[in-house]
């Protein structure tokens, strides 16, 4: 059964690239943490404060199903999300920069917050596709943007909440990142630092997966706009750049298309859904939690979840 996005759509083609699917989520959360109403509204209602990678995995799988799954699968994911979002509303419990005073309202039904969720995801998908696979043409980027607007509409965003085209999105989103609207709360800074691989804990993945996720950390941090790295205080050196260049070169080499009708032995590795790999991440976090090892111990401590 066909899904909401045809197999020849830009959304399906791009989101089928494993290099994109494995990296965009972490990057989107690192940048999204700069939006206080979005960040605080999420963490105040999450059930995964001490299992953040389970939350990341759940979100990634829901998004992936809507892009790549059948309509039946997508509809189940959309209904699950609607139920979870139905009670997400409140006010900021603290001041979060000059534009976000304590008491400012938030709601999962707010069209602006729906759009910003889409914007952070789309910007990261666009960035990782161009970085790790190949650069899209202007027409392909606009088609991908329109697909993402349609995707956000499926989750309930009104079409009027988003700019009309990619060029308008790019100018307004970049202006937002350069403005005084962005602000990092102390907890958001910690979470983003873990997600970018700057902070580490005793938690770790099985040894065979460690090189892959170290590479993801490098490319997530390196792909951030310079101002975002500065706001976090992330160091970025010539050595960092060289490491990222190596990851980018290796990834792009995997996606070089062979001549027409030639065998494509790498296709099962570089193309497809990431659900099985994401399950390993979630299970590892749960297993290590049972052993008393937290993914983000400083975050749990700051949130009052640890003594």
Residue extents of the structural domains in the chain:
10-257+265-302
**Predicted pLDDT at 258:** 66
Q: Which residues pair with 90 in a beta bridge?
A: 106
Q: Which two tokens mark 259?
A: 């001549």
pTM of the entire predicted model: 0.93
pLDDT tens readout for residues 198-231: 987 666 778 888 898 899 999 999 999 999 999 9
- What is the distance between the alpha carbons of residues 170 and 119, in angstroms, rounded to a whole number? 10
Q: Which residues pair with 91 in a beta bridge?
A: 105
Specify burial of residue 225 (Cβ count, 10 A radius: 0-12, 13-18, 19+): middle
- What is the distance between the alpha carbons of residues 274 and 61, in angstroms, rounded to a whole number? 8
Q: Which two tokens mark 165?
A: 């085209």
pLDDT tens readout for residues 161-205: 999 999 999 999 999 999 999 999 999 999 999 999 898 766 677
pLDDT tens readout for residues 47-86: 677 888 888 899 999 999 999 999 999 999 999 999 999 9
The band of 43, judged by pLDDT with boundaries at 50, 70 and 90, is confident
């Amino acid at each position: 059964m066909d899904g909401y996005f045809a197999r020849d759509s830009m959304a399906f083609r791009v989101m089928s690239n494993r290099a994109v699917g494995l990296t965009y989520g972490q990057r989107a959360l690192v940048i999204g943490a700069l939006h206080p109403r979005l960040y605080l509204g999420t963490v105040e209602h999450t059930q995964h404060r001490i299992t953040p990678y389970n939350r990341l995995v759940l979100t990634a799988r829901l998004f992936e199903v809507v892009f790549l799954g059948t309509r039946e699968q997508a509809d189940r994911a959309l209904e699950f999300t609607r139920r979870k979002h139905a009670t997400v509303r409140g006010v900021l419990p603290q001041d979060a920069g000059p534009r976000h005073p304590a008491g400012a309202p938030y709601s999962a039904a707010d069209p602006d917050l729906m759009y910003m969720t889409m914007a952070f995801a789309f910007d990261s998908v666009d960035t990782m596709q161009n970085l790790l696979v190949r650069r899209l043409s202007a027409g392909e980027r606009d088609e991908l943007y329109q697909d993402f607007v349609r995707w956000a509409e499926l989750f309930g965003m009104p079409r009027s909440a988003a700019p009309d085209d990619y060029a308008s999105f790019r100018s307004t989103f970049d202006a937002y990142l350069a403005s005084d609207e962005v602000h990092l709360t102390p907890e958001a800074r910690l979470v983003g630092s873990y997600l970018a691989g700057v902070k580490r804990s005793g938690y770790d993945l099985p040894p065979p997966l460690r090189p892959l996720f170290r590479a993801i950390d490098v490319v997530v941090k390196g792909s951030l706009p310079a101002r975002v790295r500065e706001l976090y205080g992330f160091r970025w050196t010539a050595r960092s750049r060289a490491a990222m260049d190596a990851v980018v070169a290796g990834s792009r080499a995997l996606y070089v298309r062979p001549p027409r009708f030639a065998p494509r032995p790498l296709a099962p590795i570089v193309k497809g859904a990431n659900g099985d790999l994401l399950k390993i991440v979630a299970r590892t976090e749960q297993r290590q939690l049972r052993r008393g090892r937290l993914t983000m111990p400083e975050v749990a401590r700051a949130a009052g979840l640890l003594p």
